[in-house]
Structure 1
Amino acid sequence: MNPNSDKDKIYSYPSLTVAEKERSYPLFFEGLKFVKFRHISNMDLPFETPITVISGSNKCGKTSTLLAIACSHFNFKSRNRTSGVPERTRWGDVMRFTSNDSQTEDWCYEVRYREGRREQMKRGYRKSASGKWGGVAKKESQIGTPHRDGDAGGRTVVLIDLHRMVPARHSPNSVYSKARRVRLHDVSDGLKEYLSYVFEEEYEVGKMIDYSDASIYGYQHGKYSSFNTATGEDVLTSMLLDIVEAPNNSLILIEEIEEGLHPKIQRRLMDVVFHESVKCHKQFIITTHSASILASVRPESRLFIDKVGDNNVVVKNISINEALSRMDSESYPLVNVYVEDSISRKIVEKAIGILVASKPKINKMINIVEVGSASQTYDYFKTKQKIYQKERINCGYACILDGDMRDKKNHDGQLQYPAQDLLFFHLSNYSPERMLVEACSNVHKNTTLEYHLAHSNPHMLFEKMVELGLASSYSDAFDKCWNSLMATEVGANYLNELNEFLYHCCQYFAPQI
C-alpha cells in the first residue's frame, strides 16, 4: 500500500480524458440535487473525485444525501433485521410514515451519473397526495434496473450507517447462546491485511456468526470475541469487511466514518479507503464531523453543507478550519493576522465589526495575534509563509504593520518590508497612535496636545488626552480619535482598504467564501 501514490491517482481523476475516466471508474455517481425534499430546498452536491467527504451541522441533509443516492440504485441491498438475509432496499424500507409523520408538498430530487462514457440524469419524487414514490426512486427506473433476463442489476451500493455502533454485548441472549461454542470461519485476507495496517500490528480475525444485520467476530486466534472487544475494534472490523467484500466498481456510502475511532485510526482507515478505491475502482461518499477525516483529503474532495436561513448551501473546496468553525460554537480561525500591538488590534477589530454586517461569519475566520515589534511581527508572517504547506491543519497568515514601517529601509538602502500580497500598512507614515490623535486634534483643537503630537513619544498620546481632560479613559481616547478619523474621506477610504484586505486574506485561503 502506497498512500501517496493512491492519493495522486484519486486527485488526477478530474483532469483525465473521457476514455481514461471510463477505464479508471467505469461507473461514477456525479451529482445529486434536492429540488425539494423534506426540509431541504435547492441543494446541489457535485461529486468530482472518486472520494468525497461531506461535513456540516446536524439536520443539514447529510443522511438524506446518502439515502437518496442509495435508494436511487437497483442494486442497493441491506440485511433483513429478522432473517439476516441481504435484500433489495428501497425508500419504503428506510423512510416509514406514522400518524406523526406528514408530507405537505411534493418532494423531488435529481441524480447525475455516468455509465461508461454515457452521462445521464434522472429525477425521483414522492407525491404528497398519494404518498407514492416515482422516477428513479421507484424500482422500474432506478439506476441499474435490469431490462433483460440475466442482467446483474447495475453497480452494487453499500450503505454503512450508524447501526454498526451497537456493541455485541447488547445483542439478544439467543445470539450469545448460539455463539458460545461455534468455531471461527475464515474471512478475507484483505480484511486481515487492512486491520493489521490500521492497528500497526499483526492481526487475526474470524467470523463466528451472523445475526440480524450484524456479525460476531473472534480475534487473535480465539483469545477474545465481539462480546469482550473494544467497541471501536468491532466497528472497524465491520466497516472494513463491508468495504472489502463489495465487488469492484461499487459505490460505498459511509455515515460518520469517524464514530468510535481514535484520530490516528481514522487517518489510517482513510489510507485504506484510498487504496481500495484505486485498486478496485470503488467510489466513496463519506459524511463526517472529524478534523482528522477532513485533513485526510484535499480541499477538492470536501463538500460542506451549511444552513443559511431556510436554505441549504453547498460549499466546495472548504478549508478544515472554516468547516470546523461553521460546525462549532468556538472558532477555528482560517487566518492568523499578525499585528504589532493592542492599538493595531483595536483598529482591526473595528474594521471586522463593520465587515461582519455584510460578511456575517468573517469574525470567526480571523484571529488577531499581537506579536511585538515590527521585525518580530514580519518574521512571524514570513515563517508561517514557509511552513504553511507542511502543517497538518493549515491556518492562513497575514501581516499588518504600522504606517511608520512603510518606507523603512535596511542598511543596504532597500525597503525592509517590501510591498507583497497579504501584507498591509496602516494609514499614514506615522504610528497608529499619532495618526489617530492627529485626526482628533484637527477637530478638537488643543495647543498642548499639538505640542505632544510633534514632540512626544506617540505611545503616550492617549494618556495625554486623558490628562488634558479630552477623554475619560484610554479606551475613550481611542474611540474619540477613531470617530474623528472615520468622519473624514481619508479615514473612510482607509477603512474600506483595510476591510478589502481582510476579506482578500480570507478568500486567499478559502476561495469559495
Structure 2
Amino acid sequence: MGNYQSEISPSVITGLEEKVSKGNYGRYLKRLTLRTVRGFTDRTVTFDFPVTAVVGPNGGGKSTVLGAAALAYKSVLPGRFFAKSGKHDASMQNWSIEYEIIDKSLSTRGPISRTARFKTYRWSRDSVLDREVRVFGVDRTVPAAERAKFKKAATSAFAALKEVALPPEVTAHVARILGKPIEGFQQLYIDAAGSVTLFSGRTHKDVEYSEFHFGAGEASVIRMVAEVESAQDGSMILIEEIENGLHPVATRRMVEYLIGVAKRKGCQVIFTTHSNDALAPLPSKAIWAAYNGDVLQGKLDVRALRTITGQIHAKLAIFVEDNFAEMMVTTALRVHGGVELDAVKVHGMGGADPAIKVNHQHNIDPTRQFTSVCILDGDQAGRESTSDLIFLLPGDSSPEAHVIGRILERLDTVAAKLALRLQLTVHQQEWVKDVVRTRALTNWDRHVIWEQIGADLDFLAGSIVAGAFLATWAEEFPEEVSQLVDGLGDLLPRRE
C-alpha cells in the first residue's frame, strides 16, 4: 500500500467511523458470527466502517463472509452464495450464523439479534429483515457478447424499446473512476419489464457503439455505478472481487467512490478482493483477512497472506507494525550482512495487535512450513516476549521518532551524505539541515515527517526521504543494527 495518498480526507474516514460506533444508521449490519460454516467455527467479523474489504487466498473464506452478510436479509436467496446439492452436500447440516443488526424500523433501543441455520436440508432464517441488497458477482465482467440475456440485442435488426441517457451523477462518477469522459452514454432497454438493459456509448466523433464493444472493466464500472446510484439510501452493496477487469488506479478510485457513497447515501458496502490497491484507501479497521479457518481485522495485505499460507517460499516471516518499520528491518538485515534476504519476508501489519495475533496464529499452526517473529516499535516494551518470539525495534519511541532523533544528533557530520541520498548535491546540505531541523521542531506526528521533509525539499517522495534517513542511521549506528539483527539469533536464515 506504500505511499498512496487517498483523495478521501481523514475527516471523512473519522466521521464514518464515529457514525458506526454511535449506531447512527437506520439499517446496518454490525457483526456476524460464523458459528459453524464451511471451515469456520465461532469466528466473528465486525463491521466497524461502512465500507469493508475481505481479503484472503482462494478458498480462504472471503465469499463465505460475503454470503453470510447477505443471508441476514430476505432479499437475497440463500442459494446465491450457499447452493445445496441434495445428499451430496450433507456437510451443510447444522451450519449456523448469528447477527447483530441495527434496524430502527423494528427497534430504536439498540441492535437486534437474528440467526440463520441450515437444518433438515434447508435454510431457516428467523424474522429475516427487509433491506435492499445489491449483489455484483464476478460474472459482471463477462463480455456482453457472451451473455445469453443480451442475445436478442446481438442482431442487425435490434432496436431498443427505450433509450435513457445516463444521469449526470453516474457519468461524473464513472468518468473519475475510469479516467475518461463518458458523455453521451445511454442505457438501452431490451425487455418490456426493464430488467435487461445494455449500454451504448459515443466516440469523440459522435459515433454510437454498443456495450458489445466496451472493455469488460468499463462496462462493469458503468453498470455498478448506475445501480448503486439508483439504490435506496441505506442499502447494502456486496461486490465479489472488486478489482476484476480494473486497472490498479481504477480499483483505488472505485473504493474511494464507494466510501463517498457510504457518506452520501448511508449505504453499507462489503467487497472481497485479492488486491492491495483495493485496500489502500481504507482504514485498518475496515479490512478483514479470511484464511485457514480464521479471520483477522487489520491491514493484513496480500503479500503477507501469501507468506502465511505458504504460497511464497520463505524460511522466516517477520511481522512489524507498519511500512516504515518494514523498511527499517529490511535495511538492518541488508546492512548487517550474512542474512539470506530472499528467504526472509517482512510485512507491515497496520498495528501492534494484528502483528502479534498473526505471529501467534502462524506459529501454533501445526502445518506451518517455517517460523515467524514479531518485531514491535520501541514504545511497546511491555509486550516484548522472547518466548512468544516478540521483539522490539531500537529506541523507546516510534521508529520514525527514533531515527529522526538519531540523525539530528549527528546532522552536521552526516548532512553531505544525507543530501546525496536525497538525490541532491553536496552544496545543498545546508538547505537539508535547515529543513530537517525545522520539521523536527514543528512536526506533531512523526509518522508523516518523511512526507513533510520531502515536500519542503522540492517535493521529494516520502519513500525516498525515509530510505535516505534509514540508510544514514544504519551506517552511523551499526551497534543498533547489530542489536536488532543479532537479537533474532538462529531464527534468521544465513547465507552459506
**TM superposition score category, shorter chain reference:** 0.5 to 0.7
Change (3 A) 1:340 1:276: closer
Q: Percent identity?
A: 18
**Which residue does the alignment assign to 1:291?**
276
1:397-476 equivalences in 2 (<5 Å) = 417=477, 423-426=480-483
TM superposition shift of 1:68: 1.9
1:81-480 equivalences in 2 (<5 Å) = 89-92=76-79, 94-99=81-86, 101-104=88-91, 105-116=93-104, 117=108, 118-127=110-119, 130-136=120-126, 141-144=127-130, 155-172=131-148, 173-177=151-155, 180-182=158-160, 184-204=163-183, 205-210=185-190, 215-220=197-202, 223-307=208-292, 311-319=293-301, 321-323=303-305, 325-326=307-308, 328-329=311-312, 335-336=326-327, 337=329, 338-339=331-332, 344-346=337-339, 386-387=449-450, 417=477, 423-426=480-483
For the residues of structure 1 that align with 2:342 and 2:165, how far apart are their CA atoms?
63
Query: Could you say what secondary structure the match of 1:345 adopts?
Result: coil
For the residues of structure 1 that align with 2:363 and 2:39, how far apart are their CA atoms?
27
TM superposition shift of 1:48: 0.3
Amino acid corresponding to residue 200 of structure 1 in structure 2 = G
TM superposition shift of 1:341: 6.6
Check conservation: 2:35, 2:97, Cα contact below 8 A.
yes
Amino acid corresponding to residue 270 of structure 1 in structure 2 = V
Alpha-carbon RMSD? 4.6
Deviates more, 1:108-117 or 1:333-342: 333-342
Check conservation: 2:243, 2:278, Cα contact below 8 A.
yes
**Which residue does the alignment assign to 1:8?**
11
TM superposition shift of 1:39: 3.0
For the residues of structure 2 that align with 1:252 and 1:340, how far apart are their CA atoms?
44
TM superposition shift of 1:345: 3.3
TM superposition shift of 1:365: 8.9
TM superposition shift of 1:121: 2.0
- CA offset digits 1:315-347 (Å, max 9, x no partner): 434356534644753689862422387764339
Amino acid corresponding to residue 166 of structure 1 in structure 2 = V
Check conservation: 1:399, 1:424, Cα contact below 8 A.
no
**Which residue does the alignment assign to 2:71?**
71
- CA offset digits 1:34-54 (Å, max 9, x no partner): 110133322211110111111
For the residues of structure 2 that align with 1:394 and 1:318, how far apart are their CA atoms?
25
For the residues of structure 1 that align with 2:450 and 2:26, how far apart are their CA atoms?
39
Query: Could you say what secondary structure the match of 2:154 adopts?
Result: helix
TM superposition shift of 1:255: 0.8
Amino acid corresponding to residue 120 of structure 1 in structure 2 = I
Structure 1: runs of 5 or more not aligned: 77-88, 145-154, 367-373, 406-415, 428-493, 503-513
What TM-score, normalized by structure 2, do the two folds share? 0.63
Name the larger-Rg structure.
1
For the residues of structure 2 that align with 1:265 and 1:6, how far apart are their CA atoms?
18
Query: Could you say what secondary structure the match of 1:425 adopts?
Result: helix
- CA offset digits 1:330-370 (Å, max 9, x no partner): 68986242238776433999999xx997796666999xxxx
Check conservation: 2:279, 2:287, Cα contact below 8 A.
yes
For the residues of structure 1 that align with 2:465 and 2:252, how far apart are their CA atoms?
16
Check conservation: 2:20, 2:50, Cα contact below 8 A.
no
Amino acid corresponding to residue 52 of structure 1 in structure 2 = T
TM superposition shift of 1:169: 0.9
Query: Could you say what secondary structure the match of 2:164 adopts?
Result: coil
Deviates more, 1:285-294 or 1:208-217: 208-217
**Which residue does the alignment assign to 1:54?**
54
What TM-score, normalized by structure 1, do the two folds share? 0.61
**Which residue does the alignment assign to 2:357?**
none
For the residues of structure 1 that align with 2:53 and 2:308, how far apart are their CA atoms?
16
For the residues of structure 2 that align with 1:196 and 1:294, how far apart are their CA atoms?
21
Check conservation: 2:54, 2:290, Cα contact below 8 A.
yes
Task: Tell me how many residue pairs correspond in the alignment.
Answer: 374
For the residues of structure 1 that align with 2:269 and 2:231, how far apart are their CA atoms?
12
Query: Could you say what secondary structure the match of 1:45 adopts?
Result: strand
Amino acid corresponding to residue 239 of structure 1 in structure 2 = M
TM superposition shift of 1:56: 0.3
TM superposition shift of 1:271: 2.2
Check conservation: 2:313, 2:343, Cα contact below 8 A.
no
TM superposition shift of 1:31: 1.1
Query: Could you say what secondary structure the match of 2:129 adopts?
Result: coil
TM superposition shift of 1:246: 0.8
Query: Could you say what secondary structure the match of 1:121 adopts?
Result: strand
For the residues of structure 2 that align with 1:115 and 1:56, how far apart are their CA atoms?
30
For the residues of structure 1 that align with 2:67 and 2:102, how far apart are their CA atoms?
19
Amino acid corresponding to residue 143 of structure 1 in structure 2 = L
For the residues of structure 1 that align with 2:50 and 2:464, how far apart are their CA atoms?
22
Change (3 A) 1:49 1:93: closer
TM superposition shift of 1:300: 2.1
TM superposition shift of 1:236: 1.0
Amino acid corresponding to residue 283 of structure 2 in structure 1 = R
TM superposition shift of 1:215: 2.9
